[in-house]
Amino acid sequence: MLYVFENIRPFNLKAVLDGGQAFRWKEENGRFVGIVKNRFLAVDYSENTLLVEINDGSSSKEEDIRFIMDYFDLDRDYLTLEEELTKEYPELKKAIEDGSGNRILHQDPWETLISFIISANNSIPNIKRVIERLCEKYGSPIDYKGKTYYTFPSPDALSNLSDEEISCTRCGFRGKYIIKAAKMVQSGEVDLRKIEKLDTKDAVKELIKIPGVGVKVAGCILLFAYRKYDSFPVDVWIKRAVEEIYFDGCQKNIKEIIDFARKKFGERAGFVQQYLFYYFRGKSI
């Protein structure tokens, strides 16, 4: 089934799907294809129109449309958001213009948790490869138009793996963290649904109980899966960006940067983070 969404602007397909917030999208024949919450999606964008092909399943047309709009945050007026941010923070003008059309996806908490555990001290291409191996080995197949894709494995599928079994994904030292996280979620020791109801600071405290989850990974999970828009994940690019723009290049620790960003940008901190990450990382590539 093909769904057409008109007058969607701005929308930067590559920034959204290949910019470091989701890792299961890949370009095929001029469009992006991926598996999202056990659905196959093929996505294209041109002339302010978003085209989304989705595999036929048990969901209704109305459910598919709501799912797509929720995942891509289509209800939000990003044009106004960018205009307001540029006016209020002119020092961010270049970053916002460069990343115009970037959007924050609404992803599955479990998949986001494991994906960002894998992301620690890792490059985006390698993160993608590890996740793909994990899905091919322990996910379920989805056949669509002659090709086979794989769902993200459930906590149950990963919780009983041995270190040797998970090593086939080449995830390295992260394997033990993946297994432990799966055990904690599967047993109910960590309730991913509960986190949504917590404020950002308490949610971080809850997430960092999971081995392999530090403050940065927790921030990513909260921003990309829970829509905690006051979350401001800090990696090397964000640290450099904030120090350069706001502190004349002077070094600041991560807590100082997070506190500064949350105070300055409030509930829009996460959006600012995405524009800065895309711009500063892009300058180095």
Q: Which residues are catalytic?
A: 216
Q: H or E stretch including 31? A: strand 31-36
Report whether 210 contacts 113 (CB < 8 A): yes
Sign of the Cα pseudo-torsion (60, 65, 66, 70, in order): positive
As a whole number of angstroms, the distance between CA 141 and CA 148 comes to 6
Closest CA to 16 of 29, 28, 3, 31: 31
Report whether 240 contacts 280 (CB < 8 A): yes
Amino acid at 38: N
As a whole number of angstroms, the distance between CA 213 and CA 177 comes to 9
Rounded to 10 degrees, the C-alpha dihedral 165/213/184/111 comes to: -70
Report whether 271 contacts 81 (CB < 8 A): yes
Q: What long-range pairs does 232-237 form, CB within 8 A, spacing at least 24?
A: 232/257, 232/258, 232/261, 232/262, 232/265, 232/269, 232/270, 232/272, 232/273, 233/273, 234/258, 235/277, 237/276, 237/277, 237/280, 237/281, 237/284
Closest CA to 147 of 8, 33, 233, 57: 33
